[in-house]
């Protein structure tokens, strides 16, 4: 639609105005000053009535224009325009701040809905593990069955992804307090530094486009909450939003494992990836042919009571799960260590049943057994400082608990009866240990798109 066919100088003749109206075919013309400012409108009906009243074709258009006319500015919403056209208005002039005509809206000429920049966002929760640790290592269940029980809680890794129009890659990590800038994928993957996990995930995805990726987490690094898997899941969730054939939950879990274990080369088990991606309370069995995730249907009142009975305590000590798992792999050659893991697996089934039946006091005592089995798997799992934290917690009301993750530091999880919770919290505060409130998270990885 040509705007010039709708504009005419107010000093022009009525005949010239009718010629313009004939050109635009909408029965309307807008009069403007020499500066381009639109100040009036005339329809073919206005002109016809003026001619009947005695004006001639050579008279000025100004004699029959309407200076009180309806118009909209350039920021008007498309929805508002549709409603106006649907009501009684046939032609809507769009004027800028200087009253210059920039568009003419009709039913046949509505503004397009333009594609805006699209961002993918995701969040994935951490897990707390109750039992079965060590049995999710491939070198253990290669000759048997592993089993763990865990639940996701309300601490997350967050990711935001924007696709660029060039091949450049920019990754911002608040956790690392660093930024990676690369001209292309190859440069990104070859860079040395602290982005090893993120680079391994990018290598697994192998994107054929440039992008900007922002990452941050609600929890400290090396905390024993499965944080590496959570970060990997959040990244995968964002990229999955731009796939036509989206990865399933099992495929996402496998990709996260592939990135951290095969590409980054960090020793560890399988449960963290499945826990964060599937979410909720899960009993997970590990076999060489397939891993099976069994969601646990625990009554709400039991979940609420369990939530109130558990205390998450930060030891303030970072750990290296890869080193601990490496030591565990060596130790696993011993038959006595294999038997310990088997006891942990057997206990895992017991923990599952206690949860489902609501036997929470027995569940708390079983956590103590799980810790006893776990700490004997490797000399790297505990130390005198961590043992002292645990033993003093038992002296101040806890009836069980365990160090989360591979061990060596991170978070303790304590189970405490209602009558002793205040005592234990007071003790931890006196010891300078931070108790972190949490809630169970019933969902795992979430990802979505947003238009700006």
Query: Among residues of the chain, what percentage have pLDDT more than 70?
Result: 96
Q: Give the CA distances from residue 55 to residues 48, 58, 130, in Å, rounded to whole numbers and listed in that order.
A: 9, 8, 93
Same domain for 286 and 428? yes
| pLDDT value at residue 283 | 97
Same domain for 135 and 34? no
Same domain for 245 and 384? yes
Which range of residues forms the domain containing residue 307?
119-436
Same domain for 158 and 13? no
Cα–Cα dist 439/431, whole Å:
24
In a domain, 248, yes or no: yes
Q: What mean pLDDT is predicted for residues 414-419?
A: 96
Same domain for 56 and 96? yes
Tens digit of each residue's pLDDT (9 = 90 or more) over 422-438? 999 999 999 999 999 99
Catalytic residue check, 272 = yes
Cα–Cα dist 256/6, whole Å:
60
Give the DSSP letter of residue 180.
E
Same domain for 427 and 349? yes
Closest to 40 (Cα-Cα) out of 7, 88, 16, 84 = 7
Cα–Cα dist 396/393, whole Å:
5
**CATH number for the domain that contains residue 408:** 3.30.230.120
In a domain, 76, yes or no: yes
Burial of 423 from C-beta contacts in 10 A (0-12 / 13-18 / 19+): middle
Same domain for 309 and 247? yes
Q: What mean pLDDT is predicted for residues 182-202?
A: 97
pTM, full prediction:
0.83
Closest to 440 (Cα-Cα) out of 273, 318, 312, 345 = 312
Same domain for 75 and 165? no
Q: Give the CA distances from residue 323 to residues 199, 329, 350, 373, in Å, rounded to whole numbers and listed in that order.
A: 20, 10, 29, 19
Using an 8 Å Cβ cutoff, are 267 and 322 in contact?
Answer: yes
In a domain, 451, yes or no: no
| pLDDT value at residue 339 | 84
| pLDDT value at residue 17 | 93
Q: Which of 46, 136, 214, 272 is catalytic?
A: 272
Assess whether pLDDT exceeds 80 at residue 151.
Answer: yes
Number of domains in the chain: 2
What string of DSSP letters covers 333-350?
A: TSHHHHHHHHHHHHHHHH
Using an 8 Å Cβ cutoff, are 292 and 138 in contact?
Answer: no
Same domain for 90 and 40? yes
Q: In degrees rounded to 5, what are phi and psi of residue 407?
A: 110, -175
Same domain for 371 and 307? yes
In a domain, 49, yes or no: yes
Cα–Cα dist 374/328, whole Å:
10
Assess whether pLDDT exceeds 70 at residue 36.
Answer: yes
Assess whether pLDDT exceeds 60 at residue 325.
Answer: no
Closest to 145 (Cα-Cα) out of 287, 283, 338 = 287
Q: In degrees rounded to 5, what are phi and psi of residue 229?
A: -65, -35
Whole-angstrom Cα Rg for the chain = 34
């Amino acid at each position: 639609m040509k705007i010039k066919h709708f504009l005419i100088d107010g000093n022009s003749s009525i005949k010239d105005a009718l010629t313009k109206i004939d050109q635009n075919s909408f029965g309307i013309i807008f009069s403007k000053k020499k500066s381009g400012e639109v100040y009036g409108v005339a329809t073919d009906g206005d002109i016809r009535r003026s001619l009947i009243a005695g004006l001639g074709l050579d008279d000025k258009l100004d004699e029959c224009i309407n200076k009180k006319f309806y118009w909209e500015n350039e920021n008007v919403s498309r929805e508002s325009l549709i409603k106006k056209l649907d009501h009684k208005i046939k032609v809507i002039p769009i004027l800028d701040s200087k009253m210059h005509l920039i568009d003419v809206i009709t039913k046949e000429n509505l503004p397009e809905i333009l594609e805006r920049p699209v961002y993918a966002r995701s969040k994935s929760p951490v897990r707390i593990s109750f039992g079965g640790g060590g049995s999710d290592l491939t070198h253990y269940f290669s000759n048997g069955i592993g089993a763990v029980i865990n639940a996701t809680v309300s601490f997350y890794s967050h990711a935001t992804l924007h696709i660029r129009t060039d091949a450049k890659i920019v990754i911002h990590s608040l956790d690392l307090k660093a930024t990676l800038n690369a001209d292309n994928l190859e440069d990104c993957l070859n860079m040395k530094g602290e982005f090893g996990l993120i680079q391994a995930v990018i290598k697994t995805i192998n994107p054929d486009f440039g992008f900007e990726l922002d990452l941050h987490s609600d929890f400290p690094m090396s905390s024993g909450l499965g944080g590496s898997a959570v970060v990997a899941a959040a990244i995968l969730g964002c990229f999955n939003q731009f796939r036509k054939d989206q990865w399933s939950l099992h495929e996402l879990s496998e990709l996260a494992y592939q990135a951290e274990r095969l590409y980054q080369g960090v020793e560890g088990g399988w449960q963290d990836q499945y826990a964060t991606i599937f979410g909720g309370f899960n009993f997970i069995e590990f076999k060489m042919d397939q891993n099976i995730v069994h969601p646990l249907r625990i009554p709400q009142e039991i979940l609420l009571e369990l939530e109130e009975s558990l205390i998450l305590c930060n030891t303030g000590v970072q750990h290296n799960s890869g080193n601990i798992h490496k030591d565990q792999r060596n130790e696993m050659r011993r038959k006595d260590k294999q038997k310990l893991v088997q006891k942990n697996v057997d206990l895992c089934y017991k923990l599952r049943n206690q949860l489902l039946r609501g036997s929470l006091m027995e569940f708390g005592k079983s956590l103590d057994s799980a810790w006893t089995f776990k700490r004997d798997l490797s000399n790297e799992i505990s130390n005198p400082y961590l043992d002292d934290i645990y033993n003093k917690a038992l002296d101040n009301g806890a009836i069980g608990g365990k160090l989360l993750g591979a061990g060596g530091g991170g978070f303790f999880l304590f189970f405490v009866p209602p009558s002793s919770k205040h005592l234990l919290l007071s003790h931890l505060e006196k010891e300078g240990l931070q108790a972190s409130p949490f809630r169970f998270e019933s969902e795992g990885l979430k990802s979505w798109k947003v238009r700006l």
